[in-house]
Structure formats: structure tokens, C-alpha cells
Amino acid sequence: MSDVIKLMPDSLANQIAAGEVIQRPASVIKELVENSVDAGATKITVNVKDAGRTLIQVIDNGCGMSVTDARMSFERHATSKITKTDDLFCIYTKGFRGEALASIAAVAEVELKTRRAEDPIGTDVIINGSNFVSQTPVNTPAGTNFAIKSLFYNVPARRKFLKSNSTELQHIITEFQRIVLTHPMIEFMLYHNDAMIYSLPKSNLKQRIINVLGKNLNSMLIPVEIDTSIVKVTGYTGKPSSSKRRNDKQYFFVNNRYMKSAYFNKAVVLAYDKLTLPDCLPPYFLYFEVDPRSIDVNVHPTKTEINFENASEIFHLLQAGIKETLSKSDVTPAIDFENQEIKDIPYFPSDSPMPEEPQIDYDPNYNPFISTEKPKDFEPKRPKNPTFFDTTTPRERHNAQNWQRLHDEPQALTDTPSAAPPMLQLHGKYIVCPTPNGIMFIDQHRAHTRILYEKYLRQIDSNADAVQQLLYPQELDLDVTQSAMAHDIRDELQSVGYDITIHDDGKAILTGIPPYMEQNKATEILYRIIDSYRNEHGNISSSIKDILAQAAARGEAVTAGHALSKEEMQQLKDDLMSSSSPNYTPDGNPTTVMLTWDDIEKKFN
């Protein structure tokens, strides 16, 4: 039997690597722009056509490459940043693996024009699908100019699974934002189909955040500075009043590299405990500086997941630091004893007569514990034994008789007929009600969500395609990414009552809302629908009607901590039991928990 293990051809190996590194057009932009940053560029321009399908061009004024380096840069694992094993544990640059250019060249037509400042002429390299085509001298400005054409032209299955242009553009903008937010001293420009999306001059960090994500952030941001031996955290966090359920402006960066971290996000959430509404979070832009040897950025090809050596310590430092930042700002009540302004204190000269002490009239014989009023319906009884001298007061005898009556005549509450079993509320969250089989616990928020969800589904069906036109159209607070999403699902939104006009500059105008909703509520729910579409990357598993009904129900449902009257608890229970699926919320969470009498008996055995 002949040998079966063989070395894979380089072109095939590069295509496999591309499957991890180059997932969509946004991945190409991330890799090329990060290379430009590493090359010391002070100006970077990105041109995109057809959301990257036709063309991705990245132009910079960085250090450029020599003739030899330009050709070598497309070889697999060719890198200028790693020379020995120890370098892997002390990474300061964006890219370091040497996989990006080889992977891009494996699935596209690539042209590279580059020149170093000290060279009189540059070089032009053309590679198609990992196949070297040519390298010729060219007159080109100092720096690098990459043109990526016909992405995935030789991998039709990958190209087929790309989403719509608006969805792919959203991913491009997201990656672009993550990079520009870490480098405010670099000038960036982004064009799509020759239309400018971003023009970002050099600026300070706060101005860059505002230029990227909107002027409305200007008054919302509070500077953060946490300086310890383990980590230094700078940046901005939002005032509690800026909290929204649309969690779309939360960013972590580590050593100028974007990072995803649900763990550290939890630290921020805890810092805002009791300051924001449930499920709401303000925007934040937090930049970590740590020793590169204490983190591992090599855990994922996209390098957005990072392992920390001191994660637990940083968690507590971050939580405490954000809390301290909020307490020092004017968003939480605090008493500043050092800066209290003292004024209007009266001045009395030393020879002024002392003021007279105020006189108060009172009865020295008054005892508040002795009542002089005769209890209602009270008739004093004579002692049965004439020789017994009764020294108790009428009030004391009345109280003693009540106490004796309570002990001699116990009330059997279980035998008292009632219209409904008694109900009570625990922790402002659960409704507890006895049933013939045991005790039922109802989560009031989840139960109300189920009830309202079915109510809104009925309203949507009965008002199909109906739109309530607004007298005064409203400009929506959408960034360019969200505008692209709204454009992508405009017809679906129209089917549930939303009428939106989106201009070429990305500005979105709301002109109509569902007829059964108030404008403020309808707008907030619209943001949730758009974010749901974005979070599922343009592939919503549920219908727009279902998303609308769920978003409306969650926003209106009674929250934990809200006190309910007995009548409200009974109505909530009755409405839940009459719904089509009383045991679960629309997204499958339980609304009730049953504790049977047998379960209770077992606890006592």
C-alpha cells in the first residue's frame, strides 16, 4: 500500500487559512488598514465598491516596502514582526502572523503598488488566486496602495453566502470604527461607491468618538482614569441618563487593539447598579494598557478575543474605578465637605446682649402611655371575689380581655370561605399564589411580557399595512451602520406600520408609525428591531412581526421592583392563564414555577 499523507499545495493551504482570516469584505479591510497603521501611516483612505464585492482599496502614506519585501509579503507566514519565540509574548503591533496577505491573495485578484520614501521608484505586484502574475517598476507616491478586486471569485460557495450589500457594508463600517477609535492622531477617510461615509481629521480622543458615533455623545461622556500597577484604564463612560437598551456603543480596547469581553462588560454593569433601568447600559469607550506579556492575543485568528493573566483583579479594579468616577461626577449624589460654600452666617459683636431662651409651656404630669379616654363599647366588670381588690385601670382590663379573647378563640383561617386564594408579592418580582396542587410562583415581568406579546400580535394582524403618518417627521438617531440596516429591511418595516425615508447621506427620517402606538414608544421599538437585525448579521430567524411584538412587550411589561395591588396581581394571573402559552415567554423562558405539596412535604423529611 502506497503512502497516503502528502504536503498540501500552498494555494490550497492559503485558501484554508483564508477561511479563518478572511470571512467577508470587512475582514480584508481590517487586515489591510491594520497593516497601514503598523507601517506608521498618518493618513489612510479606504475605497469600497459594491460593499467590497467589486473593489476594496486601501491607500496609506506609511513607510512602504522595497521591491523584495513587496514580493515576499504574499508568502505564507512572511512577517516583519516576529523573529523569535519570545516575540509572541510581547506583541505591540496589530498583525504579526503573516497570514493576511497570503490569505487575501488566495481568494481575490490583488494589485500592490508601494514605494519607500528613499526609493526613486516603486514596484507593482499582481497576484491572482495565489498565482504570481507580474512585478514591474511603477511611479507611485511613497506608501502603499492595495487594490483587492473580485473577492471570492474563485470560491463561489463563499461568495454565495455573502449577505446583502447593506449588511456587508454594515460589517465594513463596524470594523472601520473599531480601528479609527484607537488612533485619533491618524487621518481616515472611507468611501462607498464614490460617496463619502467618513472623513475623520486628526483629533483628540473625545472628538474622534463624537465624529464617529454622533454629536449627541458630547454631553454624555465622563472621563475615566484608573491607574494601577496591573492595568491603566483611560477613556470615557456615559452618564446614567444616557443608558439605553440599545447596547451598541460599548467598546473595550487593549493596547490599542479592539477586544470583545462579556466578562469586563459585567464589571461595568455592576458599577452602574441602581443607577440605570434594568437591561440598560450607557455607552463606554475604555482603553486598557497592560504589559503585553500578561495577555495572549493569539487565541483567535481575528485577534478580538484576548486572555488576561490578571483578569479577576482587573475586573474588580474596573468596577471600583467606574464607581469612583461616577461618584466624583455630578451624576450621583455626594457630599463634598472640602468645597462646601458657607454663607449667610450671622455676625454678633462680642458686646451684644445674649438672646433670650425661648419659653415652652408643657404639663409636667402628662403621661403619653396612659389614656384618659374610655374605650368604646367597654363596660367595667366587678370582681367575682368581693374580697379581691382590683387595682387594674379600665384601659388595662380592656387590653387583657382582648388578649384573652385572641388566645381562647383562635380563628381557623383555612375554614373561612373566600372568592380567591390569597396572593402575595415577594421581592417586588414574584407573585405567590396557592393552588389545589401546591404553590405557584409567577415572574411578573415575564408573565406580563407574554400577555402583551399576544396583545401586540393581534394588533399587528388587525392593522396589517396600516400606517399612521406623522404630522412632524422625526429624524432618527441612527449611525451609518444602523441606517444601512434600516434600508435593508425597509419593506418589512412598512408591512408592520413604519414608514422610513433614507437619504443618500445616510440620514433616516421617520414619517409614519404603527397606528396603535405612541410616537416615543414606536421610535424606541424601531431601534430595537434594527439592532436585532444587526445582531443576527442580516439573517433574522424570526419575522419582523414577531420581533416588533416582542420588543413592544418587553418595553411595556411591568418590571421587577414594581409593587402590585391584590387586584393587579389577580388580573395578571388571570390574563396569563388565558394566554395561548402561559408557561413561557415568547423567547422560551419560563413564566411560572410550581412547588407541589409533595415537594414541600419532602423538605420537612
pLDDT: which is higher, 103 or 371: 103
**CA pair distance 47, 148, nearest whole angstrom:** 10
**CA pair distance 295, 497, nearest whole angstrom:** 49
Per-residue pLDDT tens digits for 124-154:
999 998 899 999 999 999 999 999 999 999 8
Mean pLDDT of 294-322: 81
**CA pair distance 336, 450, nearest whole angstrom:** 47
**CA pair distance 592, 577, nearest whole angstrom:** 11
Is residue 295 classed as helix, strand or coil in its secondary structure? strand
Confidence band of 406 (pLDDT split at 50, 70, 90): very low
Per-residue pLDDT tens digits for 419-476:
556 889 988 899 999 888 899 999 999 999 999 999 988 888 888 778 889 989 998 8
User: Which helix (H) or strand (E) covers residue 493, if one does?
Assistant: helix 490-495
**CA pair distance 56, 134, nearest whole angstrom:** 20
Report in angstroms the alpha-carbon separations of 396 from 134, 368, 430: 111, 15, 43
**CA pair distance 96, 85, nearest whole angstrom:** 12
Q: Report the half-sphere exposure of 26 (CA within 13 A, side-chain side).
A: 20
Residue 540 falls in which region: left (phi positive, over 0), alpha (psi -120 to 50) or beta: beta
CA angle 437, 438, 440 (to 5 degrees): 115
Could you say which DSSP state residue 281 is in? B
**CA pair distance 286, 459, nearest whole angstrom:** 43
Q: What pLDDT score was predicted for residue 67? A: 93
- Predicted TM-score (pTM) of the model is 0.64
Which residue bears the cell 494555494?
11
Give me the DSSP letters along 39-103. TT-SEEEEEEEGGGTSEEEEEE-S----HHHHHHTTSTT--SS--SGGGGGS--SS--SS-HHHH
